[in-house]
Chains A and B, each alone.
Chain A
Amino acid sequence: QVQLVQSGAEVKKPGASVKVSCKASGYTFTSYDINWVRQATGQGLEWMGWMNPNSGNTGYAQKFQGRVTMTRNTSISTAYMELSSLRSEDTAVYYCARGRVVVGTGFNWYFDLWGRGTLVTVSS
């Protein structure tokens, strides 16, 4: 079935990096952007950026510029999000989500398929 399957939970020390994977199945991986959204415990959703699996083009939220890298391996339909220089405030559940973009009366960018999330804990 159509789904995004994410890698398991991670525990990292401050200053380290983490790489989360997101494997797509049930649809053509290269036909839709992959976005990453995170959610700290008890908090709201925060968009981190997007990647086009076909071209490899990316766009990152300003807050994460310089610390986040989104890549892909099209041969295994998998997207990756790597976040470096981790700090305690990065402790959160990280979601990958399939993006849809519609340009009409205004710009619409929405997420119609989500992974289950990957908990990343940053602790010394």
Chain B
Amino acid sequence: QSVLTQPPSASGTPGQRVTISCSGSSSNIGSNTVNWYQQLPGTAPKLLIYSNNQRPSGVPDRFSGSKSGTSASLAISGLQSEDEADYYCAAWDDSLHVVFGGGTKLTVL
């Protein structure tokens, strides 16, 4: 049982906009910032969004993040086949550890 809650799956067609939600509590998302990781099949995770809405160099602006209260969202616009991956949200929890969501498997139909 993960501390942060994500839907197990999401899907969309090429060109569509999809969002993935991440729900936490006052001790993690509610008081600290949220990060998102993308894990392509058979590879290591990669930082996608940090500090709620910042993109590392090289990440397309099709990816965006937001946070409100104890929840966060990742949005992917102009969906592409190469976006098919697992997506994880994460945050620092005030009980002194990093917590992850259970991951959302994104399928591009």
Contacts and interface: CB of A to CB of B under 8 A. Distances in A.
Contact of B90 (A59, A61, A110, A112): A110
Contacts of B37: 45, 111
B32 A107 contact: yes
A80 to B, nearest CB: 18
Contacts of B35: 108, 110-111
Contacts, number: 69
Interface in A72-123: 95, 97, 100, 102, 104-117
Contacts of B44: 95, 114-117
Interface of A: 35, 37, 44-47, 59, 61-62, 95, 97, 100, 102, 104-117
Interface of B: 2, 31-33, 35, 37, 43-47, 50-51, 56, 88, 90, 92, 94, 96-103
